[in-house]
Amino acid sequence: AQSVSQHNHHVILSEAASLELGCNYSYGGTVNLFWYVQYPGQHLQLLLKYFSGDPLVKGIKGFEAEFIKSKFSFNLRKPSVQWSDTAEYFCAGYEADKLIFGTGTRLQVFP
Amino acid sequence: DGGITQSPKYLFRKEGQNVTLSCEQNLNHDAMYWYRQDPGQGLRLIYYSQIVNDFQKGDIAEGYSVSREKKESFPLTVTSAQKNPTAFYLCASSRTGGEQPQHFGDGTRLSIL
């Protein structure tokens, strides 16, 4: 069965630090991958998505992710985080009409 | 503005009681989903419906039931058979079952006393 894994469960950074959150998937076939963000007290929002084409995907709020097929990875990056990026981040893959979510990474950014 | 409305935001019930969580969308989406969110486990799919009057079990359907009598509504019932119902429940929708991404509601936090 396909799965999506996020190895960083809790990340703590200072403002202006660079961010990279790991995401690995374990299925073949057509790959559709997503990053969602859940800010405190808010609903899940889509950050970015990859369906095909350029493996470097740009999303909202300065986030980007790179699909590396050989590594089965879709890591999320941001060059300089802000306090407002404090949130929980979920990687997800889509197959057979279902979204499969990773366990999430809680990011805390301190001023 | 179009969106997904989940109510109530917080729900408390006694052990052994069934409870129904509401999810309404005015996005004219065909597909709707229910997820359960637990700390350290991410989101897990309970049930989903690709069209009115049809629904399928997700990965953790035991102890839950749903109905899809109207396109805009997809209520979830947590039955007394669900062994550990205390969790955060998220409803989502997408234009069709094969189209992503999904749009999410604000969630309902259910606590069993």
pLDDT of residue A95: 78
Under a CB-based contact definition with an 8 Å cutoff, are residues A69 and A54 in contact? no
CB contact residues (below 8 A), chain B span 38-97, against chain A: 40-45, 48, 50, 58, 90, 92, 97
Instruction: With H, G, I as helix, E, B as strand and everything else as coil, classify residue A72.
Output: coil
pLDDT of residue B96: 85
Give the 3-state secondary structure of chain B: CCCEEEECCEEEECCCCCEEEEEEECCCCCEEEEEEEECCCEEEEEEEEEECCEEEECCCCCCEEECCCECCECCEEECCCCCCCCEEEEEEEECCCCCCCCEECCCEEEEEC
Cβ-Cβ contacts under 8 Å, B106 against chain A = 42-43
Contact B107 A43 (CB under 8 A): yes
Q: Say whether pLDDT at B28 is over 90.
A: yes
> How many Cβ atoms from other residues are within 10 Å of residue A9's Cβ?
11
- Tens-digit pLDDT profile for residues B55-100: 999 999 999 999 999 999 999 999 988 888 999 999 999 998 777 7
Neighbouring residues of A107: CB distance < 8 A, sequence distance ≥ 6? A11, A12, A13, A19, A21, A81, A85, A86, A87, A88, A89
Contact B58 A98 (CB under 8 A): yes
pLDDT of residue A6: 95
Q: By the CB < 8 Å criterion, does A103 face chain B?
A: yes
pLDDT of residue B41: 83
Chain A: nearest CA to B41, how far in angstroms?
A: 5
Chain A: nearest CA to B94, how far in angstroms?
A: 11
pLDDT of residue B98: 74
Please give the Cα distance from B93 to B30 (Å, whole number): 8
Mean pLDDT by 10 residues, chain A (111 residues): 87 97 85 92 90 92 95 96 96 85 95 90
Please give the Cα distance from A60 to A62 (Å, whole number): 6
Scored b (16 or more CB within 10 A) or e, A72-93 reads bbbbbebeebeeebbbbbbbbb
Nearest to A103 among B42, B92, B102 (CB): B42
pLDDT-derived band at B1 (thresholds 50, 70, 90) equals low
pLDDT of residue A1: 61
Kindly state the DSSP code that residue A85 receives in the 8-state scheme: G
Q: Which of A7-11, B1-5, B23-27: highest mean pLDDT? A: B23-27
Contact B106 A43 (CB under 8 A): yes
Nearest to B100 among A43, A90, A94 (CB): A94
Contact B90 A101 (CB under 8 A): no
